[in-house]
Chains A and B, each alone.
Chain A
Amino acid sequence: MYQYDEYDQTMIDQRVKQFRDQTRRFLAGELTEDQFRPLRLMNGLYIQIHAPMLRVAIPYGMMSATQVRMIAHVARKYDKSFVHFTTRQNFQMNWPKLEDVPDILEALASVQMHAIQSSGNCIRNVTSDQLAGVNANEIEDPRPWAEIVRQWSTFHPEFAYLPRKFKIAVIGSPEDRAATKLHDIGLHLVKNHDGQVGFEVFVGGGLGRTPVIGVQIRPFLEKQDLLSYLEAILRVYNRLGRRDNKYKARIKITVREHGINHIRELVEAEWVQIREQLKLDQKEIDRVKQYFTEPDYDQDAQQDTSYSEMLGQDAAFARWAKQNTADHKVPGYRAVYVSLKKPGVPPGDITSEQLEVLADLAEEFSFAEIRSTHTQNLIFTDVKQADLYALWLRLETEGLATPNINTLTDIICCPGLDYCSLANASSIPVSLEISEKFDDLDYLYDLGDIKIKFSGCMNGCAHQSVGHIGILGVDKKGEEWYQFTLGGSSEADASLGERLGRAIPKEDVVKTVTEILEAYVDLRHQDEAFLSTVRRVGIEPFKERVYADN
């Protein structure tokens, strides 16, 4: 993975020093709350119900074992010994003290980590596919490009005070595991007719109150033009984006109000002016790429026979291997998901002790690296099949081997009323009820790929509007109610879910999920997936089932 040189390190060290002084001036009353807010947000710091909340960036989800140990350490020393992984591959600490934050950032900087631009109206941490570099379908590894975007966007002096937050995601294969069409800019590495690889560029996706699927702004962008094109989009948005109403300030609204054709013209006009100046040199592309070369794979990994033996002998292992591991481009290797969705544990949460075990396991089994995923899980990307059994046993002991990846209980969930001051309703406790109710694995596997996404208010942090089943907390006269949507998707076939009907009271949420699933089982054709069934039959049959009794 990428390693800082003295330039990168100096910049984040200076950032810590700068923020230490800003915090000092705020605590001394020299900065007002209004003046301090954007500064702390650009260092990942929200003020929430219990305490400040610190969101730490994990650029495109990559962590070394050393970094994971440091995360465990800061969570133990400055928080309650656990952290929460988010849908943008970052993690959050829910209880740090404001005075401690400069020390936390200094500790993180010592292992090349930071919280820069993980919040605020600026270009946020860039995300990518957790299977980048290891999946056989890939056109090109997106990580070097994500790193190039990271560097360009970090402390960009022109774009620190945008109309609103700005999120970029990069992928390199046709499957979209990074929800790129729900980003302000989505970059897809694609091959054109001449066999040349470049970027297809999407713009204007976003969630929140007004969910929008991004649209194509350019079918093919040559790779060395990436930064000039991004800079052109950002400059157009910085000038044109609305600043009078924060609910209309995202680029999705700019695109809607001006039309994609007009925006495209403006961007292209800007781009021609800066294209030459910002061309990426091959030297720089090669410099960054050298950090993402293949690890030293064992060419004989496939010779192993123990894996298939253990699959035959141990049904629980076989179930886990089927559900929680993914194909790898190198024969004899697999990618291994670490489920952070154990029933009874808030989705995405992990303790310091567990993190330390994972750091050890990464060193032992997966080239000392771990990645975070958009679905709030973790993954070891390079495990030899011969090691899977040993790894599984250790994960099992730690409660990190729940075999539920991509099933109904692999729920994406926001903090909701438990931690978030904007929440209308609780999300974690209700999602826990759902996963406790559906703990029969055979039933889960029979249901197949179903994505529940659960947010505690219309800001939509858990992407409910693109959930196969979306659940949204709403407030009705001080009571918690839940609005369901069906048929959304954040993948290559991205779409927004359709409203099921009127909101459901809290005590009926689990029952409603049950009824939706029963209807699906009745309606599906053989192996038809939930999403396909919903798309084929529409919302009505589900509506009838759920609202039949009243």
Chain B
Amino acid sequence: MLIIKDREIVEDNWVHLSDEDSLIDGNITVTLTRWQEQHDLLSKHGSGLGIRLSGDEPLEELVPDLHHFQLVVLLFPVFTDGRCYSYARLLRDRYHFKGEVRAQGDVLRDQLFNMSQCGINSFELAKAESAEQALSAFDDFTESYQATVLRPEPLYRRR
């Protein structure tokens, strides 16, 4: 599958395992439930390990474990559910997560700019074929008033 990562279209090299799927080699992501149940086993996983989190699940519970993960996938069940914008900012600003933060679900072109400002750097678009067109979204605005993950100083300190 093609995704957008750091403003480029790339082939995805992660596999998202459901709670029933058996473990495989290579980069995998699991749910928070599975991580909590199979903590010991998963922390020995030989390749990349990622976790999938929805706005219903408490981000704070995951924080002590963040160093195990190279990828945090944030779920947007519908694009109007804005909870994970806050999660992305907290992951970056407060918990200093340096790995990949990805948006998955109802991810559309018109939300990419805000998502990226909040610290999300990879995107599984709802319609993968629209990726080429969607790239221009990152340039919709060249400035923002607020302190964001991409521009940590608010405009009032820069103007």
Interface residues of A (CB under 8 A from B): 5, 7, 10-11, 14-15, 18, 22, 31, 35, 38-39, 121, 151-152, 154-163, 227, 235, 238-239, 243, 273, 277-278, 280-281, 283-284, 287
Contacts and interface: CB of A to CB of B under 8 A. Distances in A.
Interface stretch (B30-38, B66-74, B110-118): B110-118
17 contacts: A10-B142, A11-B141, A11-B143, A121-B80, A151-B156, A152-B146, A155-B114, A155-B144, A155-B145, A158-B86, A160-B85, A161-B81, A161-B85, A161-B111, A162-B82, A281-B157, A287-B159
Contacts of B110: 22, 31, 35, 39
Nearest to A18: B140
Interface in B113-159: 113-115, 117-118, 140-148, 154-157, 159
A184 to B, nearest CB: 15
A243 B146 contact: no
B96 interface: no
Contacts of B108: 35
B114 A160 contact: yes
Contacts of A7: 143, 155, 159
Contacts of A156: 145-146
A203 to B, nearest CB: 18
B148 A157 contact: yes
B89 interface: yes
Given A14-B142, A155-B145, A5 B159 contact: yes
Contacts of A160: 82, 85, 111, 114
Contact of B145 (A35, A151, A283): A151
A456 B54 CA distance: 39
B79 A35 contact: yes
Q: Which of B55, B86, B146, B155 has the most CB of A within 10 A?
A: B146
B145 A152 contact: yes
Nearest to A11: B143
Contact of A157 (B79, B80, B117, B154): B117
Interface residues of B, number: 32
Contacts of B157: 281, 284
A157 B142 contact: no
B39 interface: no
A157 B147 contact: no
Contacts of B142: 10, 14
A276 to B, nearest CB: 12
Given A152-B146, A278-B147, A278-B154, A243 B117 contact: no
A200 to B, nearest CB: 24
A31 B113 CA distance: 17
B140 A157 contact: no
B123 to A, nearest CB: 15
B44 interface: no
Specify the main secondary structure of chain A where it touches its partner. Answer: helix
Interchain residue pairs A-B with the least CB separation, the first 4: A161-B82, A157-B117, A284-B156, A157-B114
B54 to A, nearest CB: 12
Contacts of B55: 239
A243 B114 contact: no
Contacts, number: 92
Given A35-B110, A39-B110, A243-B81, A154 B145 contact: yes
Nearest to A278: B147
Contacts of B145: 11, 151-152, 154-156
A161 B113 contact: no
A283 B147 CA distance: 17
Contacts of B115: 157
Nearest to B145: A151
Nearest to A121: B80
Contacts of B83: 238-239, 243
A15 B157 CA distance: 23
A154 B156 CA distance: 13
A235 B81 CA distance: 14
A158 B143 contact: no
Contacts of A273: 94
A14 B142 CA distance: 8
B155 A238 contact: no
Contact of A277 (B140, B144, B147): B147
Contact of A238 (B86, B140, B154): B86
Nearest to B155: A7
B141 A155 contact: yes
A235 B89 CA distance: 10
B143 A235 contact: no
Interface in B55-96: 55, 79-83, 85-86, 89, 94
Contacts of B159: 5, 7, 287
Contacts of A38: 79-80
A163 B115 CA distance: 17
A18 to B, nearest CB: 5
Interface string B14-27: 00000000000000
A280 B86 CA distance: 22
A287 B157 CA distance: 11
Contacts of B156: 151, 280-281, 283-284, 287
Contacts of B155: 7, 151
A413 B141 CA distance: 38
Q: Which of B85, B147, B155 has the most CB of A within 10 A?
A: B85
Given A7-B159, A152-B145, A277-B147, 18 more contacts: A7-B143, A11-B145, A14-B142, A35-B110, A38-B80, A39-B110, A158-B85, A158-B86, A159-B82, A160-B85, A227-B154, A235-B86, A238-B82, A238-B83, A239-B55, A273-B94, A283-B156, A287-B156
Nearest to B89: A158
Contacts of B154: 152, 227, 278
Q: Which of B55, B94, B143, B145 has the most CB of A within 10 A?
A: B145
Q: Which of B55, B82, B86 has the most CB of A within 10 A?
A: B82
A394 to B, nearest CB: 40
Given A156-B146, A158-B86, A14 B80 contact: no
A18 B114 CA distance: 13
B132 to A, nearest CB: 13
